[in-house]
């Protein structure tokens, strides 16, 4: 009698585990993308895709009109009138851009690849944010930066500090919120799946299977059919994640 094959895949470095059923022992999720599990990988992928629209929304919130070029940073002393902009939106967009620039520096050095061209403003020793720009230009800047990261996401997932990158981008910290908190504050349109992003449904056979990324309704990525409602059990249906390896 042959013994069952033992899964030697290491667990997700972030300590992710499958939800517990009554009487079950905790089961760690396997590191299917470098050092992280499917959920962490797709959560980070979705966050990067959301950033361009999020950045545009934050820049648009800086001023009431939100649609003209910012040519300088407006400051105000206690004796003068308040700055004619929403400092929180400006600070948030700069903090997010500076965070991405720092991550790119670390990744480029570790992978030994050239960094993308970035229009930044520097403090004494580090990036403080993006150069002033309209909402439209801010989206373009963010697309270039996040595109660079997205194209290397599999390699990034194998880096020893990928857990820190994941947490910085998705959740953030008190002084530098992550994408999902900022999205709740400033909004970001959900990217609708394109036909090329969809896969054939194993139940109804139609090409309507897509990845539903984390949102206020679901904490984890889901793979489901938009036509018949088929929902993949990511633990039992191993082929589900393979559908989107190249998506």
Domain that holds residue 39: 9-76+84-190
Asked if 63 and 18 sit in the same domain, the reply is yes
DSSP category for residue 22: T
CA distance 177 to 227: 36
Categorize the per-residue pLDDT at 92 as very low, low, confident or very high, splitting at 50, 70 and 90: confident
Q: Out of 190, 206, 234, pick the residue that ends a domain.
A: 190
Both 196 and 186 in one domain: the answer is no
User: Are both 210 and 165 inside the same structural domain?
Assistant: no
Higher pLDDT, 140 or 14: 14
Q: Are residues 131 and 163 in the same domain?
A: yes
CA distance 57 to 187: 7
169: tokens are 């981008």
115 and 222 share one domain? no
Same domain, 183 and 196: no
1 assigned to some structural domain:
no
The segment with the largest mean pLDDT, out of 18-32, 71-85, 118-132, is 18-32
Considering the domain architecture, whether residues 131 and 72 belong to the same structural domain is answered as yes
| pLDDT tens sequence across 52-83 | 888 888 777 765 443 333 333 434 344 444 44
Question: Are 182 and 107 part of one and the same domain?
Answer: yes
Are 217 and 179 contained in the same domain?
no
- Examine residue 3 and state whether it is found in any structural domain, yes or no: no
111 and 132: one domain?
yes
Decide which of 23 and 232 is more confident: 232
Q: Are 167 and 44 in contact (CB under 8 A)?
A: no
Residue range 35-43: average pLDDT? 94
Task: Count Cα neighbours of 14 within 13 Å in the Cβ-side half-sphere.
Answer: 27
Q: Which of 234, 247, 229 is nearest to 32 (CA)?
A: 234
Query: Are 196 and 123 part of one and the same domain?
Result: no
Number of compact structural domains in the chain: 2
In this structure, the answer to whether residues 104 and 147 fall within a common structural domain is yes
- Mean local confidence (pLDDT), 181-203: 73
Q: Are 180 and 47 in contact (CB under 8 A)?
A: yes
Domain boundary among 169, 190, 211: 190
């Amino acid at each position: 009698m042959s013994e069952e094959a033992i899964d030697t895949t290491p667990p997700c470095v972030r300590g992710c585990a499958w939800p517990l059923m009554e009487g079950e022992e905790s089961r760690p999720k396997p590191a299917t993308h470098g050092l992280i599990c499917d959920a962490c990988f797709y959560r980070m992928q979705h966050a990067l895709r959301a950033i361009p629209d999020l950045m545009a929304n934050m820049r648009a919130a800086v001023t009431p009109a939100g649609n003209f070029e910012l040519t300088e940073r407006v400051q105000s002393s206690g004796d003068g009138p308040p700055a004619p902009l929403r400092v929180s939106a400006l600070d948030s967009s700069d903090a997010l851009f500076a965070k991405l620039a720092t991550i790119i520096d670390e990744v480029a050095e570790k992978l030994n690849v050239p960094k993308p061209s970035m229009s930044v403003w520097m403090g004494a020793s580090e990036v403080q944010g993006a150069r002033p720009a309209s909402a439209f230009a801010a989206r373009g800047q963010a697309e270039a930066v996040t595109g660079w990261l997205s194209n290397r996401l599999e390699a990034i997932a194998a880096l020893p500090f990928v857990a820190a990158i994941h947490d910085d981008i998705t959740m953030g910290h008190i002084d530098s919120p992550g994408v999902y908190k900022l999205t709740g504050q400033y909004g970001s349109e959900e990217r609708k799946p394109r036909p090329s992003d969809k896969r054939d449904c194993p139940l109804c056979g139609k090409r309507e299977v897509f990845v539903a990324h984390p949102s206020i309704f679901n904490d984890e990525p889901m793979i489901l059919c938009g036509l018949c409602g088929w929902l993949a059990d990511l633990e039992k249906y191993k082929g589900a994640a393979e559908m989107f390896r190249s998506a």
